[in-house]
Chain A
Amino acid sequence: MFEICFPEFLGARCIVSQALFGQLLIGLINGSFYALLSLGLAVIFGMLNIINFAHGAQYMMGAFVAFFLLQYVGLNYWYALVIAPIAVGAFGVLLERLFLQWLYKLDHLYGLLLTFGLALIVEGLFRNQFGSSGLPYRVPDQLQGGQNLGFMFLPNYRAWVIVFSLAVCLITWYVIERTKLGSYLRAATENPTLVRAFGINVPRMITLTYGFGVGLAALAGVMAAPIYSVSPQMGSHLIIVVFAVVVIGGMGSIMGAIVTGFGLGLIEGLTKVFFPEASNTVIFIIMAIVLLIRPAGLFGRRA
């Protein structure tokens, strides 16, 4: 452990390395969740033109599925990592078929209101059933403990979350930007009518895209379960920040969502070290500045 001292204009303080790197680590962890969630939102917005306000609730459902699997079925974290995204994604597919598909030709506001309403209903049902105090979820045995890196202590589970979510983000980016399937998605985002007239079943692709975006939220929920406790309102706390991240990155940009997610997590962590009073608002201040200077977002393609 060592001390880092700051010059006059930063308050001439000294902090121990643990504090700085500890906050950076928390920043990266938060950034992992921001990135995964804003990525799902960006994919959904690109294809469906819908601002998915139910994203936080779907993230929470992912965490609850992990909890149920462990509690009632005896299936551990690793099973949950696969089953929860599929189960919650299937729920998303159902929502899209039942409700969302009727909204595509209307203003964004309708999709936002509908998904916001769905989020309230889902969260209300869970709160009714499980109360609002959190339920515990154990870190999986294989990822207990941590590494002493000299300048800080790195818990294994947190390292796993950062690496795994980064991998999921990059794989998603690769599939969308570099593969044949991705070229269908990008083309259908631009001109769904023409892509369909080439023989591609665009409505089915839209349904599956929503299911995938929702599945990403559920995956983030499973990863969050051992870090934050599993509670009905865990998503609604996070989702407001995630929407700010999406606005900063630019709606519909995949790499933008990833870079902005991790970047803002880090900035938030640094703010906790240097100016803790602003740590809850720094993302919204950045959002306001970005909206003034680049209304389409840092990575937005369309003005």
Chain B
Amino acid sequence: MLDVRAPLLSVRDLQAWYGESHILHGVTFDVHQGEVVTLLGRNGAGKTTTMKSIMGIVPRRAGSVRFEGRELIGSASNEIARAGIAFCPEERGIFASLDVKENLLLPPQVKPGGLPLDRIFDLFPNLKERLGSSQGTKLSGGEQQMLAIARILRTGARLLLLDEPTEGLAPVIIQQIGKTIRTLKEQGFTILLVEQNFRFASTVADRYYVMEHGRVVEGFANSELDQKLETLHEYLGL
């Protein structure tokens, strides 16, 4: 895809290790301002590790991660967050010792222009009803996922990393999350998504990268999805 703008996020030859095991072997891709980009791939292909490496929470990493032109590969994860990237982990990371409201208000504002609370409640009306709940982890799986997304919308971060937001959720909740992602895109958020469920991804994504064995092996736009289906099936083992 030809794009003359400088990418918002530019990942070059990203390598990552957990202890002795070398997980990422040179991941390269771009995400442009306002896009929804999905990383596809089998379990263990390195999608989550890619996200964690961008976020700076992998013990050892090398290569280049540039965000708004600024190199972040040597930065600690709190500095990366302050640069304007927010992360919603696969396991959701709702805190048991915090109530729902505290969970929602936990991430500090890193940039101006985060969504105000009433806009967040427009997106997630059920969260507003659950605000009084004592413990964040007493919410249902779907509500926890919404809370995990909602809390990073306040921070002013413009790039959201969402790691498998639909995992283990009922179809009706998945639809709501799809709708939310499209709304966020309309509001100018840039989103990098990790998904196993490419049926879901195809309802929100502008572009895809396919990962295998710690590398990006293919990249294509949503308009090319139909031609790529067969290759995709091969990569994803569907």
Residues in A lying within 8 Å of B, measured CB to CB: 180, 183-184, 186-187, 189-191, 193-202, 301
Contacts and interface: CB of A to CB of B under 8 A. Distances in A.
13 contacts: A183-B105, A191-B93, A195-B106, A196-B78, A197-B57, A197-B78, A197-B80, A197-B81, A197-B87, A198-B86, A198-B152, A199-B107, A202-B78
Chain A to chain B: the 10 pairs with minimum beta-carbon distance, closest first: A199-B81, A198-B107, A186-B97, A183-B102, A197-B77, A194-B93, A187-B95, A199-B82, A196-B78, A199-B110
Contacts of B86: 198
A191 B95 contact: yes
B160 to A, nearest CB: 13
Given A180-B105, A183-B102, A183-B106, A198 B81 contact: yes
A280 B25 CA distance: 63
Interface in B48-64: 55-57
B57 A196 contact: yes
- Chain B interface, DSSP helix/strand/loop, else mixed: loop
Contacts of B141: none
A130 to B, nearest CB: 43
A193 B105 contact: no
Nearest to B84: A199
Nearest to B151: A198
B98 interface: yes
B208 to A, nearest CB: 25
B221 interface: no
Contact of A190 (B77, B87, B95, B152): B95
B155 interface: yes
Contacts of A196: 57, 76-78, 81
Nearest to A188: B95
A187 B102 CA distance: 10
A190 B81 contact: no
Interface in B77-112: 77-78, 80-82, 86-87, 89, 93, 95-98, 102, 105-108, 110
Nearest to A195: B106
B108 to A, nearest CB: 5
Contacts of B57: 193, 196-197
A120 to B, nearest CB: 34
B55 to A, nearest CB: 5
B89 A194 contact: yes
Nearest to A189: B97
Contact of B155 (A195, A198, A201, A301): A198
A301 B137 CA distance: 14
Contacts of B89: 194
Contact of B97 (A187, A200, A201, A202): A187
